[in-house]
Amino acid sequence: MSRKKILLLTLVHPDFLPPVYALAQVLRDEGCTVHILTFDSYVPSQVDLGDDIVVETVGKHYGIGLMQRLKLRRRYTQRARVLVAEGQTAIVSFCAFTLLCGLKIKGDTPLVYNALEVADFMWSSLRRSPLSQVNNLMALRKLHKADLLATPSVQRSAWLAGRCNMQRLPHTVLNAAYLTAAKEDDTTAVYAGVVPAALRAKKVILYTGAVNQRLCILEMVQAFCKLNDSGSALVMTGMKDNEYCGQIKTFVAASGCAERILLLPYVTRTEMLALQANADIGVCLMREYAHDVESAMIAPNKVGEYLVRGLYLLACRSEYMMPMAMKGIAALADTAHTDDVAIAMKGALQEVNKEGYKERIREFVRDFYCMQQQAKPIVNFILKKGRAL
């Protein structure tokens, strides 16, 4: 029996949008051949996804002017149209731009919109980001044309249904990771190439992702230094040459804890996965603002990857994170204030020194928080459509 062909469309490279990889792997396991069409990664590296998954990039979308970006997006759409003409069982889009692209080229092919990036149209941002804002507005107006709609959190699904006056609530497909049945490759050598031996011997608190004020990175560093636990180390990626990262570097240099803190730039996905596979605690401190509804609709990508590799979570209290805390696999700070983060960090370090927490994480992931469980609405829809074609 021939395998079904699925086209995944994403503007952001899956290296920085890992649920795309996870969904591709689940679809592959269900008898599909998956083609991911995207733009270049910031840190290109070969990721072994197994057979029947192809990742194709069409150019560098970052650090270029508006006209170049428009030209590149036209090339992307043309390539997607060719792939659809070759025959696809279904298309899955993940952002406003790729939703509009999918609607333009789909013909009779079913289109799933897994809205990993839910954004409103804001007049105040139109001049600063005209292309993104126009796409956001058009996507909100055309959501109803997708054959299946999903978002990565209950809060986002509810907001989107209200914003677009929908008659049905979108499915919720949490940003879980792919749970492999096979034993993962040994990442010790890659890990040793990134993290010095003196830090590898300690309990490693890890942050992988963007570094900015909203993600409370400075507070995380301040809390680590305030706690001053000599048996722990802090490793973080995503450092850039900007003012906020400069504040972090200055604080670390004067903290007295610099020898136990490793600040890294963006690393390759292979290196990031090695960090996650060998650390003890994964940090996801996202700040919520009372006047900003979007900030209360968090759906962090990194939580799924942390959990699937057995990391205990350190996060801010939110509706999204409460199930993890209730399962005893997350320590939540009451606020993003340094003192509260330090208290939660201390609790997380105490937990990873106990036996049993890894098994709780494995059970939670296996039964609930893996893409094999979360993606069932999308997979079932695609398989049903495939049988009907």
- pLDDT digits 0-9 by tens, 277-299: 999 999 999 877 777 777 777 88
- Indicate the pairing of strand 90-93 with strand 111-114: parallel
Residue 97, token pair as written in the block: 């731009």
pTM: 0.88
- Residue 63 has what pLDDT? 82
- What does the pLDDT look like over 162-219, one tens digit per residue? 989 998 999 999 999 999 876 677 889 999 999 999 999 999 999 998 899 888 999 9
Mean pLDDT across the stretch 237-266? Answer: 95
pLDDT score of 388 more than 70: no
Strand order in the sheet with 4-9: 53-57, 32-38, 4-9, 90-93, 111-114, 148-151, 171-172
Residue 165, token pair as written in the block: 């006056």
Mean pLDDT across the stretch 302-316? Answer: 95
What whole-number distance in Å separates Cα of residue 182 and Cα of residue 51?
Answer: 14
- Residue 89 has what pLDDT? 95
pLDDT score of 389 more than 50: no
Residue 337, token pair as written in the block: 């204030």
- Residue 120 has what pLDDT? 77
What whole-number distance in Å separates Cα of residue 19 and Cα of residue 346?
Answer: 30
Q: Are 208 and 177 in contact (CB under 8 A)?
A: no
What whole-number distance in Å separates Cα of residue 14 and Cα of residue 55?
Answer: 9
91 class by beta-carbon count within 10 Å (0-12 exposed, 13-18 middle, 19+ buried) = buried
User: Minimum mean pLDDT among 32-36, 135-139, 294-298, 377-381: which range?
Assistant: 294-298
User: Minimum mean pLDDT among 121-125, 173-177, 382-386: which range?
Assistant: 121-125
State the chain's mean pLDDT as an integer.
Answer: 91
189 contacts: CB under 8 Å, gap ≥ 6: none
Per-residue pLDDT band for 385 (boundaries 50, 70, 90) equals: confident
Per-residue pLDDT band for 129 (boundaries 50, 70, 90) equals: confident
Mean pLDDT across the stretch 352-381? Answer: 95
pLDDT score of 112 more than 80: yes
Mean pLDDT across the stretch 55-61? Answer: 92
363 contacts: CB under 8 Å, gap ≥ 6: none
3-state class (DSSP) for residue 60: coil
